[in-house]
Structure 1
Amino acid sequence: MQKLFLLVLMVSASFRVSAQRYTVANCHSHNDYEQAVPFYWAYGAAFGSIEADVFLIHDTLFLAHDTPELKRHRTLEDWYIKPLDSCVAAHGGYPYSDTARNLQMLIEPKLEGAPTIAALLKILERYQRLTANPRLRWTITGNRPDPSTFASYPSYIWFDGEFEKSYSPAALSRVALFSDDYKQYARWWGRDTMPAAERARLKAMIDKSHAMGKPIRFWDAPDAPDAWLLLMRLGVDWLNTDHIKALSAYLDGSPTAAPAR
């Protein structure tokens, strides 16, 4: 158990997102399966994190944000796991050709968490390249199991933290990041100047996550250049976006945005 705990800490350290210079490694493709080209646009841009929402239906994980989308018959295995496995094989066992680059797969169960994770594990046990891989992390968000059960899952399974919950040191060691709803703290949407009170609320949560040694992501945040720049200056680690190409181009051409730590 002690060796496993040390391994988890080592892997966690290797996944810390650089806050000195923002790159596509800081980018999270939100609801990636809704892109015109799922997986390949975000992967081709070398994003550090890719999100897929799943419904467990008759032992199969289908990609959808809500039930009407299930008619598309898209499965997590066909649209993400198999392509990713092929890419990892092509790169000699690494997610990207740059062997120092990490990839997080953020999986959100839309129904009960534990059965969905069990179905995910059943699929992943057939893909050793994707589980015995220190540069690849599978992180569960949405309907998560109780933190007291985190240690019962394989070491390649991580969890998205929730600020309102308390975590034991062992459970916290399995938390990959903290995510929260931007609209809980701010209403600014990229025009004029963010009110000082909103800025202070966001910064307090960023500092809280960093004090626990964890990166942070805000969902439902404004998704345009003015907002990206502000979030970088505040020290947000993961830039949540639906605009893969626009954010990639922005980061390629933008100056360093040093976080306000």
Structure 2
Amino acid sequence: MNFGKFCRIFVVVMLLLPVTNIQSQNIILPNAYAHNDYWHKRPLLDALDNGFTYVEADVYLKNGKLIVTHILPYFKNKKTLEKLYLKPLLQYVTDNAKSDNPVNCPLTLMIDIKTDGDKTYKVLNVLLQKYRSILSEYQNGEITMRNVSVVITGHRPYNMFTGEADRLAFLDEDLKQAGNDSSTNIYQVASCKYSSMVKWKGKGKISEKDVQRLEYFVLQAHKSGRKVRLWGSPDKTKVWNELLRCNVDLINTDKINTLRSFLTNEIPVVAKRL
């Protein structure tokens, strides 16, 4: 390759790079849910760069600290909830506000509590106070939405929530119980395991029974203002299509790049259900 041709290619690449970065930063995917987000090379940041609006972290209470990990941390672990998520979220919100082209993108941090719900929440509540300025809150009967909403799943401290007049977190409801609890200030999401709701694994055609069952519970959740998620769903585009057709709000995945491509139509959708 001669020098002149190299220079022309270099200039074209340099011109395209900023456009690509800007486009990726402005992508917002309201259906994208990063399950086990902390497994990625850059927890939180990889999800944000791909336009995800929901990220999930498993949390254990260990020696007074909230540790992010998939299994009980018997050894010293420096991956705390504050270090991996809360501090970076504060920085993200601050930087976005100063940007010439700020992105209006509310985010939800799903915290999957793996230890005792009440004990863990007590520690979590103290920590969240440090980040009140960016967190959605419930106070004296009113909900104020801000840049980041914290939703607790796993071992949920339901009894503590019902007695609080001021809090910075919400709960994840059991989707199969949707419609049974009329509370309007406790839940923001309704979830359940995919296999407990749908038997179809992505091969062949989904049964009408599965569709009707899922659509019924989605409708109940939506009537109460909850977003719907099925965790443990197969990471297949065919399954994602069916979930969206049944009005499931959040697509749960460990494969953030693949889901991003799917939701931005970089991966062709399958044919409509017959």
Q: What per-residue deviation string (whole Å, max 9, x for no partner) do you get for residues 124-154 of structure 1?
A: 2222333366131011111112357335063
Percent identical residues? 27
Q: Matches of 2:78 and 2:160 in 1, distance apart?
A: 34
Contact 2:62 2:73 in 1 (8 A): no
Q: What does residue range 1-261 of structure 1 map to in structure 2 within 5 Å? A: 24-67=29-72, 72-92=77-97, 97-99=102-104, 101-131=105-135, 134-147=146-159, 149-152=161-164, 154-162=166-174, 163-164=176-177, 169=182, 171-253=183-265
Query: Which of the two has higher C-alpha Rg?
Result: 2
- Give me the whole-angstrom Cα distance separating, in 1, the residues matched to 2:229 and 2:184: 17
Judging changes above 3 Å, is the alpha-carbon distance between structure 1 residues 105 and 70 closer, same or farther for their aligned structure 2 residues?
farther
Change (3 A) 1:244 1:81: same
Q: Deviations over 1:229-256 (max 9, x none)?
A: 1111111001111111111111112689
> Is residue 151–residue 174 contact of structure 1 (8 Å, CA) maintained in 2?
no
Normalised TM-score (structure 1): 0.80
CA contact (8 A) 2:57 2:68 kept: yes
Q: Distance in 2 between matches of 1:44 and 1:69?
A: 32
More strand by share: 2
Q: Following TM superposition, by how much is the alpha carbon of 1:177 offset from its aligned partner in structure 2, in angstroms?
A: 1.2
1:58 deviates by 1.2
Closer/same/farther in 2, CA of residues 203 and 93 from structure 1, 3 Å limit: farther
How many pairs were matched up?
Answer: 234
Runs of 4+ displaced beyond 6 Å: none
**CA–CA distance in 2 between the matches of 1:65 and 1:154?**
30
CA distance in 2, matches of 1:165, 1:249: 31
Amino acid at match of 1:232: L
SS in 2 for 1:240: strand
1:62·1:70 contact (CA, 8 Å) conserved in 2?
no
Judged with a 3 Å threshold, the aligned counterparts in structure 2 of structure 1 residues 199 and 93 are, in CA distance, closer, same or farther, namely farther
The amino acid across from 1:117 in the alignment is: Y
Which runs of no fewer than 5 residues in structure 2 stay unpaired? 1-27, 137-144
TM-score, length basis structure 2: 0.76
Deviates more, 1:233-242 or 1:139-148: 139-148
**Structure 1 CA distance for aligned equivalents of residues 235 and 269 of structure 2:** 19
Q: CA deviation at 1:187?
A: 2.3
**2:33/2:53 contact within 8 Å kept:** yes
Kindly state the Cα deviation for residue 68 of structure 1 after the two structures are TM-superposed.
5.4
